[in-house]
Amino acid sequence: MTVEKAMEQNLERSTKPPCWMPQIGMTFNSYEEAWDFWVKYGGRIGFDVRNNYTNKSDLDQLVTSSRFVCSNQGSRAEEKKYVVAKRNRAHTRTGCQVRMGITLLRETMTYKVHDLAVEHNHLLQTPQTSHLMPSQRNISKHQAVEIEVAYDSGITPKAAHEFLGRHVGGSANLGYTQRDHKNYLRSRRQRDLLYGEAGSLLKYFQDKIVENPSFHYAVQLDCEEQIANIFWADARMIADYAHFGDVITFDTTFGTNKESRPFGMFVGFNHFRETVVFGAALMYDETFESFKWLFNTFLSAHNQKQPQTIFTDQDIAMGKAVSEVFTGAWHGLCTWHISQNEVKHLSPQQTEGSSILADFSACMYEYEEKEEFEDVFDAMRQKVRKVTWLDSIYNLKEKWAECYMSDVFTIGMRSPQLSESLNSNLKGHLKSDLDIGRFLNRVERVVEEKREKELQSEYESRKKLPRIMMMTPMLVQASKLYTPALFEVFQAEYEKSMATYTKGSNGSNDFIIAIGSLDDQFILEDEHKVTANPFDQTVSCSCRMFERIGLLCRHALKALDLVNIKLLPEKYVLKRWTREAKCGAIQDMHGRQIVEDPKLSTTLRYRYLYQQFLPLASRAVDFEECYLLVEEALHAVSKKVEDKIKQTYSDGIAKSNDQSTSQLAQNLAHVSGLKKKESRKRVTKRKTNWIDKLQKTKKRKPEEKAEEENLQTDVEEHQECEAISSYAQLLLQRIRLKLLCQSGLMLQKYVTIRYTQELTAQVTMFRRVRTHS
């Protein structure tokens, strides 16, 4: 190759326009491809774009010609140039002639550029500001998911936008502004409100059924076909109840939604002694009929499996419903509620040197003999002046006193730990003024937090080996069978069995076993009678720990050792406490095998691709040639993926969406709305007048302020969606609301004069607008 020829080739390369520059004669395979090209060109150069006109064929509705222009094309209408307003908008039309015209070539079914002008008559945007142009701002599906997840997690739009911007190297790389972020959330909430509260509720449940067919929900309608009571349980709850539903507790004292509806949860203990949720309910009232419907629905969702024990609060209607529905269960009272009432009623009676609160707690947990319990309780009643609450709780002693519950299987749930933990979590997420949609999402977050904790415990149990005190056959066996949390309890009992003292058996298998104290004065205490049979490998203790918790006590372990049983008999190893507690297939009420996470494979694929793409992007952006190579490859792969989806799955997805929409429409046709309940809020502070409100401002925490902003946005949007169409009715509504807010705070005469003047002004303005229109 000669030097002259090489110079000619280099000159051609330098004069050839880049591929992103429009040219006369350029062709595109589709109208959308031409428009995308124009949008990207405007982003590179620094001008906003719009479509000037589009012509379609009357025969096949194909676009035959179109013109894309700069957004500054044309000029403002003459009648709008000289309009005097309080705040005039700035002019944006400069008569710019930049354009690209395309026309359809029927022979090749492509679009050809036949008209082009690229010279602007105005300032162009810089690369630092080009991302702010409307045509360059777009929220992708992936970004929409991130926005919704952040919103559902309680993160404010401002904080979420800042976080997502940092994740991609700055808000300029995000592709949308903070205003777009808020507008997207506004549009989403407005779409949800179009269904109404009842529609939003049913849509939420319908979406869950689409995700997992084993999701179960039920609603109870009143005589006016309004939704009164609601129950729901997802696939994981149904499976967990099948594994751990032997002992449950139901509580309706958690935080409620904005209508002060009682919200209750069916909860229990898993094999790590952590909280697990079996179902949730949002009720209209706390009557016997409502509780009976709820408990029957709960059993129906869980294949009519009755629990062995159920704990509730001290509610008469609830107790009656429990006795009628849970016929095979023992009913007890939750000690957490009793402890709260204990402090409320007995604290005023507590004096210096008195031990009323301690005595009552001892009656709940310590005394094993009924005679001892009666003596202490009688002495306690003599110390207080008012015995109304003590008398009422004494009549229910069989439901809460330790000595009356020696044979009740409670798995240790009498401890206030479970209720305190769940109440704390719900208090941090649920607010009294949440709408139904956000309320359901917050409940879902609480449940997910509990499940995440279980996964963490499962991970720790598989990673870490338990610390064994001594390498005996029974402890080694137990460390392999039990979860770490239960093994710690078992090992503590085994350790105490080493300090036991056997008084004698008289040649039989009956033992009197006591625990010796470890101080200087050796004293025998905690004495119990134990019977052990080495032939059928059975053991029973008068302390009844195995019958109550499901683990052998120190006395029984000592007796097994005395009869030379060195391994735990299989009958004394409850599956619910073992590492294999969740093994086995579970069926839902329709006979389908429950799949707890049907999207698990999709999640794993997403995680793998994300981990592959992220390092590739981080590496490629450092070099322009690598960046262009990756961009070209991604564009080709994206096109292939979209074609594959359209070819294989589009019909199935459309059919599924149609079925879901049809089902939702059928459900909405049977209900007339969500039954309203007036909220009754306790007034704890003096009502302040309007002057005090102007003079005093309370500093709020950032998270409280952010939460209030979100709630205020929701209220405003709800008002927009339910706005009164009549302008006169809107005026009357405003006046009525203002009079209501100001009633009792200002003179009635002043109120009347002020709002009469305001009404006159509003009516005058209304007439002017109507005349001009």
pLDDT tens per residue across span 1-50: 454 554 455 545 455 677 889 999 999 999 999 999 999 999 999 999 99
Residue type, 399: K
Is the confidence at residue 86, as pLDDT, over 80?
no
Question: Which range has the worst mean pLDDT, 10-19, 86-95, 100-109, 230-239?
Answer: 10-19
> At a CB cut-off of 8 Å and minimum separation 6, what does 708 contact?
700
C-beta separation of 237 from 278 below 8 A: yes
Give residue 687's pLDDT band: very low, low, confident or very high (50, 70, 90). Answer: very low
Between residues 313 and 666, the one the model is more confident about: 313
Residue type, 569: P
Residue owning tokens 């294989």: 648
Give residue 743's pLDDT band: very low, low, confident or very high (50, 70, 90). Answer: very low
pLDDT tens per residue across span 226-253: 888 999 999 999 999 999 999 999 988 6
Question: Which range has the worst mean pLDDT, 21-30, 358-367, 498-507?
Answer: 498-507
Between residues 486 and 755, the one the model is more confident about: 486
Bridge partners (DSSP) of residue 541 are: 530
Kindly state the percentage of the chain with pLDDT values over 90.
33
Bridge partners (DSSP) of residue 312 are: 333
Is the confidence at residue 128, as pLDDT, over 50?
yes
What confidence score (pLDDT) does residue 340 get? 83
pLDDT tens per residue across span 577-606: 999 999 887 777 777 777 666 666 676 777
pLDDT tens per residue across span 344-353: 888 877 776 6
Kindly state the tokens that stand for 17.
């326009």
Is the confidence at residue 744, as pLDDT, over 70?
no
Mean predicted confidence (pLDDT) in 76-86: 65
What confidence score (pLDDT) does residue 740 get? 36
d(CA 309, CA 318): 15
What confidence score (pLDDT) does residue 676 get? 64
Question: Which range has the worst mean pLDDT, 221-235, 371-385, 410-424?
Answer: 410-424
What confidence score (pLDDT) does residue 194 get? 65
What confidence score (pLDDT) does residue 80 get? 62
Is the confidence at residue 626, as pLDDT, over 80?
yes
Is the confidence at residue 730, as pLDDT, over 60?
no
Q: What are phi and psi of 473, to 5 degrees?
A: -60, -40
Question: Which range has the worst mean pLDDT, 135-139, 140-144, 518-522?
Answer: 518-522
What confidence score (pLDDT) does residue 111 get? 95
Kindly state the percentage of the chain with pLDDT values over 70.
73
d(CA 476, CA 225): 60
**Average of per-residue pLDDT values in the chain:** 79
Secondary structure in 3-state letters for 50-119: EEEEEEECCCCCCEEEEEEEECCCCCCCHHHHCCCCCCCCCCCCCCCCCEEEEEEECCCCEEEEEEEECC
User: To 10 degrees, the CA torsion angle through 381, 330, 370, 314?
Assistant: 0
pTM score, whole prediction: 0.68
Instruction: For residue 267, give the nearest of 451, 392, 441 by alpha carbon.
Output: 451
> At a CB cut-off of 8 Å and minimum separation 6, what does 539 contact?
530, 531, 532, 533, 552, 556, 559, 560, 565, 569, 572
Kindly state the tokens that stand for 752.
């009347």
Give residue 668's pLDDT band: very low, low, confident or very high (50, 70, 90). Answer: low
* Domain residue spans of the chain: 3-135, 140-195, 197-454, 473-567, 702-772
pLDDT tens per residue across span 172-223: 788 888 888 888 888 877 776 666 777 888 888 988 888 888 899 999 988 7
Question: Which range has the worst mean pLDDT, 414-423, 456-465, 520-529, 531-540?
Answer: 414-423
Quote the distance between the C-alpha of residue 15 and its chain's center: 59
What confidence score (pLDDT) does residue 772 get? 52
Mean predicted confidence (pLDDT) in 362-385: 85
Going by their DSSP bridges, the two strands 247-251 and 309-312 should be labelled as parallel
Q: What are phi and psi of 564, to 5 degrees?
A: 65, 35
The number of C-alpha atoms within 13 Å of 299 and in the hemisphere containing its C-beta is: 19
d(CA 108, CA 437): 51
Give residue 723's pLDDT band: very low, low, confident or very high (50, 70, 90). Answer: very low
